[in-house]
Amino acid sequence: MRDPQQILQDTFGYSTFRPPQDEIIRAVSSGDNALVLMPTGGGKSLCYQIPALARDGCGIVISPLIALMQDQVDALRQLGVRADFLNSTLSQEHQWEVEQRLLDGDLDLLYIAPERLSQPRMLDLLHGSTLALFAIDEAHCVSQWGHDFREDYLRLSLLQERFPAVPRIALTATADARTRTEIARRLALQDARHFIAGFDRPNICYRIAPRHNPKSQLLGFLRSEHPADAGIVYCLSRKKTEQTAQWLGQEGFNALPYHAGLDAGTRADHQARFLKEDGVIVVATIAFGMGIDKPDVRFVAHLDLPKTVESYYQETGRAGRDGQPADAWMVYGLQDVIKLRQMMASSDGSEEHKRAEQHRLNAMLGLCEITSCRRQALLGYFGQDLDRPCGNCDSCLNPVDTWDGTEAAQMALSVAYRTGQRFGVNHLIDVLRGAQNERILQWDHHLLPTHGVGAELDANQWRSVFRQLVARGYFSVDIESFGALRLEEKCRPLLKGEERIDLRRESRQTSARKQTKTPLPEDIDVGLWEALRDCRRRLAEDQGVPPYVIFHDSTLREMCAMKPADIGQFGQLSGVGERKRDKYAEAFLAVIGAHY
Ligand code: ADP
Ligand code: ZN
């Protein structure tokens, strides 16, 4: 067996493992099974790629992400790894060719789609080959509770039945305890070692703000912090993704829509441009992003509230895979809650399922409204403790001001009660502020004792009060009657004056980071940096691969700092393995040489 450390160095060009990579790789290389939970960008791929190279035979990677197989295989070939894939996009002849290579022992890694595994032809092929391991990527797809459930994943239990001697490693970035148990059960990994890496993504700065004027809020964020960066903007509806992309285009950004309603060609084109061009913004529904492993996504912005903390974490996790500073930015409003509850109510799941969804949405709302460190709350949700505030979220950077909202809350609750719990926020605010409009007169609401008692707060301030009361479960939103607010049991002590409540004071803008980040170190030679990027772009275009497949930004940055003078020094850079050294040293050394 080859030494994993040596493979890390020679093939991947990295000098050290990130814990717990080394432990996982040691376990799987020696034939043990493993279940791996690691955050996006944590370095899951090496956990199966290196054991596959260390052991005899070919590693079979089961992945639902057909669209990405080509990219993954391209990246491995760049490293000199004999990789290929089998999926429905290949011609018959091409498939036979790949199958033959597997039989001949000519492959280190083979990516296949899950549905293949149940085909007798595929099973025969696997039985006839030497197999190093099975890696089950995106293993949470086996969970019916998860949001990405895939029927085909259920059949993966046959791996244990048919190939008991081949080690299995299941990997995922998102799985709460319940999903983890389900993965272990369905993939027969109960006795396997479970590696649960920390969830934290310290380089991501989390910010969440109430939505006042989403366009100008987003524009302010992009202009001041990410004028030329690649990023993703998430919206709930298809229409909104298109409108937002078009509007960003008019504002001078390179923005493209992405949703399941676009034809396959357009989708593929937009995804490819996101991967291959610099500074593209994709405005997308959640249809976009699963498995996108572009390392230099600098921000993920949400214009609508995700349904669960899991989705929020997964979507924001697409930012900053390269470990460089990145932003998770979101604005949300009460309207989101109403819309999401509507969607949940009209879905055809069981009552139990709906209750679970409701519960998850409440947790998401809680995260939005907390006044303490967001990262502590986020990690806490996944059962991980962070012993002190993180220093890299909006609550930490701009501590939240709170005010005694007891009286305002009492007014809000009582106006809902006195109007029969049949009206939505806007009408209730009108009553509180003493408006005399037609609707108020029609219902005689100007005669109520609460009419006009809340004139000292403006409509936005009231909106914030209502939103926080909904988020904290004092009100529920009745979606059957157009967002009418109903009192929940929880509000009794508050109404009786036995409890007080502190509310978050809204600042008008979404707080910016204190230190604006410098994507490049101050002393970097910008001319050289641009020249190196040009060189990378040319090489990438020649081969039809994304630039980061040639080298990551971090490797180019090291080139600027170290200025290697010969091939030996070039080979020392992080991210430069033997194959890339031999293939690219000349071109990049020439750029560096010409610059001095
Ligand atoms: P995941 O699949 O967990 O989201 P990846 O496997 O794509 O993450 O790895 C994320 C990034 O980290 C990749 O660019 C990868 O090359 C890099 N990486 C992984 N392990 C190491 C390591 N030990 N040293 C340096 N970089 C690493
Ligand atoms: Zn914090």
Pair 17, 83 in one domain: yes
Q: Which atom of ligand 1 is nearest to the CA of 40?
A: 4
Question: Has residue 518 got a pLDDT over 60?
Answer: no
Q: Is the CB of 317 under 6 A from ligand 1?
A: no
Pair 376, 480 in one domain: no
Give me the chain's average pLDDT, please: 90
Q: How far is CA 458 from CA 412, 430, 514, in A?
A: 13, 10, 29
Of all residues in the chain, the percent with pLDDT exceeding 70 is 96
Q: Is the CB of 199 under 6 A from ligand 1?
A: no
For residue 449, the domain's CATH number is: 1.10.10.10
CB 231 within 8 A of CB 281: yes
The two counts, helices (H) then strands (E), for the chain are 27, 17
Q: Tell me, what DSSP letter sits at residue 572?
A: T
Pair 294, 389 in one domain: yes
Pair 331, 242 in one domain: yes
Q: Which residues are CB-contacts of 305 (< 8 A; sequence separation ≥ 6)?
A: 330, 332, 336, 337, 340, 364, 365, 368
CA of 318 to the centre of ligand 2 (A): 19
Cis peptide upstream of residue 20 (ω within 30 degrees of 0) = yes
What local confidence, expressed as pLDDT, does residue 515 receive?
A: 44
Q: Render pLDDT for 6-24 as a digit per residue (tens, 0 to 9).
A: 999 999 999 999 889 999 9
What local confidence, expressed as pLDDT, does residue 514 receive?
A: 45
Final residue of a structural domain among 348, 367, 397: 397
Lookup: tokens for 205: 């700065």
Question: Has residue 68 got a pLDDT over 90?
Answer: no
Which 3 state secondary structure label does DSSP give 259?
A: coil
Q: What is the mean pLDDT of residues 202-227?
A: 94
Protein residue with least CA distance to atom 15, ligand 1: 43
* Residue 153 lies inside a defined structural domain of this protein: yes
Domain holding 240, by residue range, is 204-397
CB 5 within 8 A of CB 13: no
Q: Is the CB of 320 under 6 A from ligand 1?
A: no
Question: Has residue 557 got a pLDDT over 80?
Answer: yes
d(CA 525, CA 430): 59
* Residue 135 lies inside a defined structural domain of this protein: yes
Protein residue with least CA distance to atom 26, ligand 1: 14
Q: What is the mean pLDDT of residues 260-267?
A: 93
For residue 560, the domain's CATH number is: 1.10.150.80
Q: Is the CB of 468 under 6 A from ligand 1?
A: no
Pair 208, 141 in one domain: no
d(CA 20, CA 220): 39
Across the strands, what pairs with 58? 131
Residue with tokens 């080139």: 559
CB 159 within 8 A of CB 32: no
Q: What is the mean pLDDT of residues 506-524?
A: 55
Pair 18, 155 in one domain: yes
Q: Is the CB of 14 under 6 A from ligand 1?
A: yes
What local confidence, expressed as pLDDT, does residue 66 receive?
A: 81
Q: Render pLDDT for 287-316 as a digit per residue (tens, 0 to 9).
A: 787 667 788 999 999 999 998 898 899 899
* Residue 160 lies inside a defined structural domain of this protein: yes
CB 65 within 8 A of CB 290: yes
d(CA 36, CA 498): 48
Pair 153, 258 in one domain: no
Q: Which atom of ligand 1 is nearest to the CA of 16?
A: 23
Pair 290, 349 in one domain: yes
Q: Is the CB of 45 under 6 A from ligand 1?
A: yes
What local confidence, expressed as pLDDT, does residue 495 receive?
A: 92
Q: Render pLDDT for 280-289 as a digit per residue (tens, 0 to 9).
A: 999 999 878 7
Final residue of a structural domain among 161, 196, 231: 196
For residue 164, the domain's CATH number is: 3.40.50.300
Pair 229, 260 in one domain: yes
Question: Has residue 517 got a pLDDT over 50?
Answer: no
pTM of the model: 0.76
Q: Which atom of ligand 1 is nearest to the CA of 39?
A: 3
Angle in degrees, CA 210, 213, 216, rounded to 5:
115
Q: Render pLDDT for 421-475 as a digit per residue (tens, 0 to 9).
A: 999 999 999 999 999 999 999 999 999 999 999 999 999 899 999 989 988 889 9
What local confidence, expressed as pLDDT, does residue 586 receive?
A: 96
Pair 183, 215 in one domain: no
d(CA 82, CA 326): 33
- Buried/exposed code over 302-324 (b: 16+ C-beta within 10 A; e: otherwise): bbbbbbbbbbbbbbbbbbbbbeb
Q: Is the CB of 150 under 6 A from ligand 1?
A: no
CB 201 within 8 A of CB 39: yes
* Residue 238 lies inside a defined structural domain of this protein: yes
Domain total in the chain: 4
Pair 423, 455 in one domain: yes
Q: Is the CB of 293 under 6 A from ligand 1?
A: yes
Q: What share of the chain is helix, strand, coil (3-state, %, to 5)?
A: 50, 15, 40
What local confidence, expressed as pLDDT, does residue 508 receive?
A: 55
CA of 377 to the centre of ligand 2 (A): 9
Final residue of a structural domain among 147, 171, 196: 196
Pair 48, 93 in one domain: yes
Q: How far is CA 50 from CA 6, 78, 83, 294, 430, in A?
A: 10, 15, 13, 21, 64
d(CA 306, CA 309): 7
* Residue 150 lies inside a defined structural domain of this protein: yes
Confidence of residue 347 (pLDDT cuts 50, 70, 90): confident
CA of 175 to the centre of ligand 1 (A): 19
d(CA 79, CA 577): 7
* Residue 505 lies inside a defined structural domain of this protein: no
* Residue 521 lies inside a defined structural domain of this protein: no
Q: What is the mean pLDDT of residues 481-501?
A: 90
* Residue 517 lies inside a defined structural domain of this protein: no
